[in-house]
Amino acid sequence: MNFLSNKINEFGEIKVGIVGSGLMGTSLFSQLLSLENFRPTVISSRRKESILELFKACKVDEKDYVITDNFETALKAFKENKYIGTTDNTLATKSELVDAVTDCTGNINAGIDISLEAFKNKVHVVSLNVEMDSTVGPYLNHLAKNSNIVYTGSYGDEPGAIVELFEFANLMGFEILHLGKGKNNELNYYVTEDDVKEDAKKRRISPRMLTSFVDGTNTMIELNAVCNATGFMPDIRGCHMIYSEPKELADKFKLIEDGGIFKNRYTVDFVKGIAPGVYAIVKAKNEIIDYEMQYLSMGKGPNYAIYRPYHLTSLETPISIAKAVVLHESSITPKNLKPSAETVAIAKRDILAGELIEGIGGKSVFGSLEKYSIAKENDLLPIGLINENTKAKINIKKDTPITYNMVCLDCNSSAVIIRNRMNSLIDSNPDLL
């Protein structure tokens, strides 16, 4: 970390654009105000009122910011050392104003448009938009590499925290057997926004977001990002969901032949009882290291849990921003163009032909993690491709895995367009990983 700090000092001021003025965007903007060598130059949101609320919450004086969608006005404000608020996301991707843009939207189509604009402008992308990453992240990373810039997820987000443990354990020479995260909500595949409305209000998040947490979609999407970054896969569709306290973690991850429930090693899963923590289940590669792990009170072996009891979401994002801008390194990014896993759509209820289907966090579908090879073989539809214009072609029974031919997708959506390009590139280059 001293190396990174020294490099930041050598680089000088890191200019950051932030898209999204919700909890993550507001928190990040506030944090960057207090950090040396960081300057949050642009904050973008759909509503001007949200930007004004953010500036007020962060105690930014009116004389110190400008609200504009005009580039020349924004550039003048930037040179006057003022903060720029805008409803035009493209301003947060202009290289004259920012070194990196942070996507805090959680909106797949908006995230894709932000990323593509940033690539064009040679601006690094640090994404907290794991919904986008699990859907088209491999292709976006492919484009970023071709543009010699960084596309990355963020430390602090659970996928980033898991991959940080993965790299930590890998560099120590352990065999890494399983990876995963805690879940602090109940799991109810069929929950709707109406069911969580009051709870969402108390937590100050949208009912749709809370629905995606409770129905498991968010967990599946986050683990999907981990799979694509590491090559690990779900053991079964939807994962097992383990119940465990931190001290029992290592004993819960056994193969069937050893008295456990897992068919395979190198899997991802989620655990009730350890939230907000993340974990890696590892094994020593020789007897000396195994003995030392026991000596260090890490358990009786042969499996050991390396457990981190927290993840600090956007509070850790400045580290990822600095790595991207100063070191040209990612914190978490898809390993290959070809994904390892897919978050496929499962019907929450009976859906009638001609009905519009709600996507993530809605009343129509929930997401379930599946191996990419199985999803492709069975033509299963990634949940991230469903938006408010997606229509059912046929009657779909509750609990049915939805396939491409069951629905009419919104072919004008950025997600569908980019995913089609990604699929075509994979299909035309079977050896291109």
Query: pLDDT digits over 295-350, tens only?
Result: 999 999 999 999 999 999 999 999 999 999 999 999 999 999 999 999 999 999 99
The closest of 340, 347, 379 to 364, measured between CA atoms, is: 347
CA distance 305 to 298: 7
> In this model, does residue 46 exceed pLDDT 90?
yes
Helices (H), 176-328: 193-203, 207-214, 217-230, 249-252, 287-295, 317-322
pLDDT of residue 125: 98
CA distance 431 to 205: 43
pLDDT tens per residue, range 9-21: 999 999 999 999 9
CA distance 278 to 265: 18
Task: For residue 175, give the 3-state DSSP assignment.
Answer: strand
State the pairing for strand pair 83-86/65-67.
parallel
pLDDT of residue 1: 64
pLDDT of residue 204: 80
pLDDT of residue 433: 57
- Which pairs count as long-range contacts for 137-141, CB under 8 Å and 24+ apart, including other chains? 137/225, 137/228, 137/333, 137/334, 138/228, 138/334, 138/336, 138/337, 138/338, 138/339, 138/422, 139/337, 139/418, 139/419, 139/421, 139/422, 139/425, 140/112, 140/115, 140/418, 141/333, 141/334, 141/337
Amino acid at 317: T
The closest of 336, 68, 330, 369 to 216, measured between CA atoms, is: 369
pLDDT tens per residue, range 248-299: 999 999 999 999 999 999 999 999 999 999 999 999 999 999 999 999 999 9
pLDDT of residue 202: 87
CA distance 209 to 431: 38
pLDDT grade for 121, boundaries at 50, 70 and 90: very high
Average pLDDT over residues 393-398: 98
CA distance 337 to 431: 10
For 175, 282, 302, the CA distances from 179, given in Å and listed in that order, are: 12, 9, 16
The closest of 47, 160, 57, 163 to 102, measured between CA atoms, is: 160
CA distance 368 to 187: 12
pLDDT of residue 353: 98
Cβ-contact 55, 25 below 8 angstroms:
no
pLDDT tens per residue, range 203-255: 888 899 999 999 999 999 999 999 999 999 999 999 999 999 999 999 999 99
pLDDT grade for 56, boundaries at 50, 70 and 90: very high
**Kind and range of the H or E run holding 17:** strand 14-19
pLDDT grade for 432, boundaries at 50, 70 and 90: low
Average pLDDT over residues 163-190: 96
* Beta-bridge partner residues of 272: 243
Cβ-contact 123, 144 below 8 angstroms:
no
Cβ-contact 113, 136 below 8 angstroms:
no
pLDDT cut 70: percent of the chain above it: 99
